[in-house]
Amino acid sequence: MPELPEVETVRQGLAKWVTGRRIASVEVRHPRAIRRHLPGADHFAAVLAGHTVIDVCRRGKYLWLPLDSGDAIIGHLGMSGQLLFQPGDAPDEAHLRIRFRFADGGPELRFVDQRTFGGLSVSPGGAELPAEIAHIARDPMDPLFSDADFVANLRRKHTEVKRALLDQTLISGVGNIYADEALWRSKLHGARPTDAITKPAAARLLGHVREVLSEALVAGGTSFDALYVNVNGESGYFDRSLNVYGREGEPCNRCGTPIRREAFMNRSSFSCPRCQPRPRRPVRATS
């Protein structure tokens, strides 16, 4: 599933191509793509037509597009969602779900989603911050993110550190790939109890989370297949820089030990057995 770097890459592309443009019409081609918009497809199209997109924003893995009406379009890419700009005469994609045409007659915006796990909806009065996503924590790239609050809240939890990194109410935008990468850089196993992590170790972990996200953003995100692309249909290339994720059996880039894969929440975790030993027993940190 796209994480912060992938969604931010899409946000930047959307901001370039859609800000200041007035929506002329909206065509919903699959009802699942607007399933979170309870009034239905006709209402979704009618409430957007004639209004101008004034910005493109992000909270964690969610996008929102404030409109001059005071409402906002909320978007989540799910597993395979793509927001693409195409000339109006370009052939329709096989999995085209929603089409936006604009009053200027320029490129149209298409929401394409093979698996239809993603979707769009309208948040009434949600231009500043949609209520539907207000519970999601700020991400570590946000200027208003509090490092001190994160460290304190992380150490206050009684869970494993990787589970905490995936908790979008604690820190948003981090998913399975970048959690594994940040933990490898921090030399922490994902099962380490959060209340056994010292303040300096928690601060270092947060620093590595930021490093990984920043580097991935520069690379345009991580693409393992054709399902994640930016608004121009281009793949990211951070997969070339991954140290552990997806590298089972390959040598650790730090010590040479073969990378291990472990089951984790119906997914997989990747780590180095030598650099990231499993915790033997929980010991509460004192500083």
Cα distances from 64 to residues 60, 80, 141, in angstroms, run 11, 18, 17
- Asked about 3 being catalytic, the answer comes back as yes
- Asked about 110 being catalytic, the answer comes back as no
Annotation-wise, does 95 bind a ligand? yes
**Options 32, 35, 156, 267, the catalytic residue:** 267
**Options 2, 66, 130, 193, the catalytic residue:** 2
- Asked about 32 being catalytic, the answer comes back as no
Rounded Cα–Cα distance for residues 19 and 15 (Å): 5
**Options 11, 58, 59, 61, the catalytic residue:** 61
**Options 3, 6, 108, 181, the catalytic residue:** 3
Annotation-wise, does 115 bind a ligand? yes
Q: Catalytic residues, which ones?
A: 2-3, 61, 267
Binding-site residues for DNA: 95, 115, 157
Binding-site residues: 95, 115, 157
